[in-house]
Chains A and B, each alone.
Chain A
Amino acid sequence: MAPFIPQGLVNPELTLFFALVLGLGFGYVLEQAGFSSSRKLAGVFYGYDFVVLRVFFTAGITAMTGLLFFSYLGWVDMSLVYINPTFLWSAVVGGAIMGFGFIMGGFCPGTSLVGAVIGKVDAMVFVAGMFIGLFVFGHFYHTFEPLYTGSFLGSPFIYETLGLSRSLFALLMALMALFAFAITQIIEDRVNKTDPARIGKRPSYVLPAMMLAGAMLVFLFLPPEKSSGLSEPRCGEIMAAWQQGGGRVDAEKVAYDIIRGNQDVVLIDLRPQEHHLHFTLPGAVNIPPEELLSRRWRAFFRKDPRHKVFFGDGTSLAARAWTAAVRQGYEGVYYLEGGLNGLFDRLFAEKPGHAPHGSNGYMNQFSERFVREARQFFMEGGAIRAEESRPVPVRTIIEIKAPDVAGGC
């Protein structure tokens, strides 16, 4: 899953190599497009050459459409992609100053590097000026700081700011670019007084048309939200689910399932194996926490349709296992609140006191009666009988899986 470097999929020592290769491509294309010439660049402001607009918009929309596709397919996790933060006035003032720099200098930083390296003296001087500008910013940093770090709005997306859907905005953007390409071609012909006979030599519109087709595809066929099973849920979503009590199962529910021999539920014992062998809940599978996300159990979590309830001695181990499993994309996972200790405290406490969740007196009566029944059930060895009396599917899983491990998978 991309992006590769933030995901740790690329050896960090190769990071700089990739930087160099990306830079090679960047520099090559800039120079080939004519961005090493200040006169061509400045033409966009005077109408005699709109190459900047054509290259810039085509590049932006190509990358935008590509990123949209990749994030829909779950290939790129946009939560790991750097989104430029918005410091409102700093962005506007900075842009305005850069506009002056562009008109006066005829370059921008990237293009000046390309111009300088092929021998444009004006580009070299521009680069020198850039260093002076940076130094000035550093020297007066204290003065600039309130503007520079003020009016921070987070890292919003433009479509959120405008209240549009992402794909609709992308489509509008592509349409706008095509419109601009057509208009600027007319302006350019007028300004340069192009001979109508030579108009056939203009660049073809095949690529812009492809670009629009790509944006149309995004708009028409892709769902508004990413729908890939490959993508991980966001941390924020897990946090929110956890705060709303998602995944939490209380002792009574688990006791009920055990007593009724509920086949839709499988209990997962996270405690060390010797504890598990000494005592466990009926039908429980023992998965040590370190093996939870291993390949050995992947098919079990992904394919087995039963609800899976983690439990440990207390709550915390099971809750952590639940978080990891949800983050891994496993569905139908829960954790037993209070763990084994909580379960037995609830069933065998001297004074069967409070019901765990705020409920009225009538419900309490039910709850207490159930606890009494459950206590009796466990005391009389009902749990043991339950395990012996029926073929426990969980056992089969362990028995089938064990040779796999021995085979060294």
Chain B
Amino acid sequence: MEKQVKPYMNPYLAGFLLGMVLLASFVITGRGLGASGAAKGVLVTAVGSIAPGYAEKSAFYQDFFLPGSPVSSFLVFLALGVLIGGFFSGAMSGRLGLKVERGPRIKTPVRLWFALAGGLLFGLGAQFGRGCTSGAALSGMAVLSTGGILTMMAIFGSGYAIAYFFRKLWT
């Protein structure tokens, strides 16, 4: 298995192709790509179905009670596509298989707890930023939106600012 693993694509070629997908998204749908929106769509639908009483009280869940929420279903299908496309690529390049990736100095449980915390913070931050690295930073940069570029600078700025304190996780 290990022997068949193909190398990753030239990053500039990958970037160019990703830019083309992004451009196609703007030309066809009028908006960029996004990933965190799908998670919100799923969560809002799940909470709205399981605990409608709870969801009714919060403006956050109001989409659930509106007739048809095209944006979230669009984003959910986009995310489904990402899953299929990613799986297809991983299968072709021999990269499938259960695995925990971690820095050389930490153990698996530590890595997983930090992954959970990181996901939590990203989910929270993506709401404030009105999109994640794809929806706010990348798509925002492509349309030259001030808000998107601000969010991008804040993501990488705070990342670099705190990287030193978390160096044990990765190096």
On chain A, the residues within 8 Å of B158 by CB distance are: 95-100
Whole-angstrom distance from the CB of A281 to the nearest CB of chain B?
44
A384 contacts B by Cβ under 8 Å: no
Choose among A110, A119, A159 the residue with the greatest number of B CB atoms under 10 Å from its CB: A110
Nearest 6 A/B pairs, CB to CB: A105-B118, A23-B81, A95-B154, A129-B119, A58-B15, A133-B123
A66-B23, A99-B158, A131-B39 known; A84-B148 Cβ under 8 A = yes
Q: Is the interface of A mostly helix, strand, loop or mixed?
A: helix
A114 contacts B by Cβ under 8 Å: yes
A23-B82, A92-B154 known; A129-B15 Cβ under 8 A = no
Q: List 18 additional contacts besides A96-B125, A108-B133, A157-B144; criterion CB under 8 Å.
A: A23-B83, A29-B21, A31-B93, A63-B19, A84-B143, A93-B125, A94-B129, A95-B157, A96-B155, A97-B128, A101-B119, A101-B124, A103-B166, A107-B118, A113-B35, A128-B119, A129-B116, A137-B128
A286 contacts B by Cβ under 8 Å: no
Q: Are A103 and B13 in contact (CB under 8 A)?
A: no
A62-B19, A94-B125 known; A99-B14 Cβ under 8 A = no
**A127, B79: Cα distance in complex, Å:** 12
Give the contacting residue for B155; candidates A38, A102, A145; CB below 8 A.
Answer: A102
Q: Are B90 and A118 in contact (CB under 8 A)?
A: yes
Interface size grouping (class) on chain A: 35 or more
25 residue pairs of the A-B complex, CB under 8 angstroms, read A4-B29, A23-B79, A29-B89, A54-B12, A59-B138, A63-B26, A63-B142, A76-B26, A85-B130, A90-B129, A94-B126, A95-B151, A97-B158, A98-B133, A105-B117, A117-B87, A119-B96, A119-B98, A122-B111, A123-B115, A129-B122, A132-B116, A132-B119, A155-B145, A158-B145
A323 contacts B by Cβ under 8 Å: no
On chain B, the residues within 8 Å of A54 by CB distance are: 11-12, 15
User: Which residue of chain B is the closest to A133 with respect to CB atoms?
Assistant: B123
Q: Are B59 and A141 in contact (CB under 8 A)?
A: yes
B:57-89 near A, CB below 8 Å: 58-61, 70, 73-75, 77-89
A235 contacts B by Cβ under 8 Å: no
Q: Are B83 and A86 in contact (CB under 8 A)?
A: no
A-B pairs with beta carbons under 8 A, tally? 542
A98-B126, A102-B118 known; A28-B147 Cβ under 8 A = no
A26-B85, A81-B31, A95-B154 known; A133-B148 Cβ under 8 A = no
A:29-82 near B, CB below 8 Å: 29-34, 36-40, 42-46, 48, 51, 54-64, 66-67, 70, 75-76, 78, 80-82
Give the contacting residue for A30; candidates B43, B82, B124, B151; CB below 8 A.
Answer: B82
Q: Are B125 and A104 in contact (CB under 8 A)?
A: no
**A88, B151: Cα distance in complex, Å:** 9
A:117-155 near B, CB below 8 Å: 117-123, 125-139, 141-142, 144-145, 147-148, 153, 155
Q: Are B150 and A46 in contact (CB under 8 A)?
A: no
On chain B, the residues within 8 Å of A19 by CB distance are: 29, 74-75, 77-78, 81
Whole-angstrom distance from the CB of B100 to the nearest CB of chain A?
5
Q: Are B144 and A159 in contact (CB under 8 A)?
A: yes
What residues make up the interface of A, taking CB atoms closer than 8 Å to B? 2-6, 10, 15-16, 18-34, 36-40, 42-46, 48, 51, 54-64, 66-67, 70, 75-76, 78, 80-88, 90-123, 125-139, 141-142, 144-145, 147-148, 153, 155-161, 166, 169-170, 203-208, 211
B:18-65 near A, CB below 8 Å: 18-33, 35-36, 39-40, 42-44, 47, 58-61
Q: Are B99 and A119 in contact (CB under 8 A)?
A: yes
Q: Are B20 and A62 in contact (CB under 8 A)?
A: yes
User: Which residue of chain A is the closest to B7 with respect to CB atoms?
Assistant: A34
Q: Are B149 and A26 in contact (CB under 8 A)?
A: no
Whole-angstrom distance from the CB of B84 to the nearest CB of chain A?
6
Q: Are B145 and A84 in contact (CB under 8 A)?
A: yes
**A104, B100: Cα distance in complex, Å:** 15
Q: Are B81 and A39 in contact (CB under 8 A)?
A: no
Choose among A16, A75, A155, A170 the residue with the greatest number of B CB atoms under 10 Å from its CB: A16
Give the contacting residue for A108; candidates B70, B132, B162; CB below 8 A.
Answer: B132
**A188, B143: Cα distance in complex, Å:** 30
**A155, B148: Cα distance in complex, Å:** 10
Q: Are B82 and A114 in contact (CB under 8 A)?
A: yes
Give the contacting residue for A81; candidates B10, B30, B112; CB below 8 A.
Answer: B30
On chain A, the residues within 8 Å of B161 by CB distance are: 99
User: Which residue of chain B is the closest to A48 with respect to CB atoms?
Assistant: B171
**A125, B99: Cα distance in complex, Å:** 12
User: Which residue of chain B is the closest to A114 with respect to CB atoms?
Assistant: B86
On chain B, the residues within 8 Å of A36 by CB distance are: 86, 90, 95
**A80, B61: Cα distance in complex, Å:** 27
Q: Are B118 and A92 in contact (CB under 8 A)?
A: no
Q: Are A3 and B26 in contact (CB under 8 A)?
A: yes
**A94, B88: Cα distance in complex, Å:** 32
**A131, B41: Cα distance in complex, Å:** 11
Give the contacting residue for B8; candidates A32, A102, A104, A111; CB below 8 A.
Answer: A32
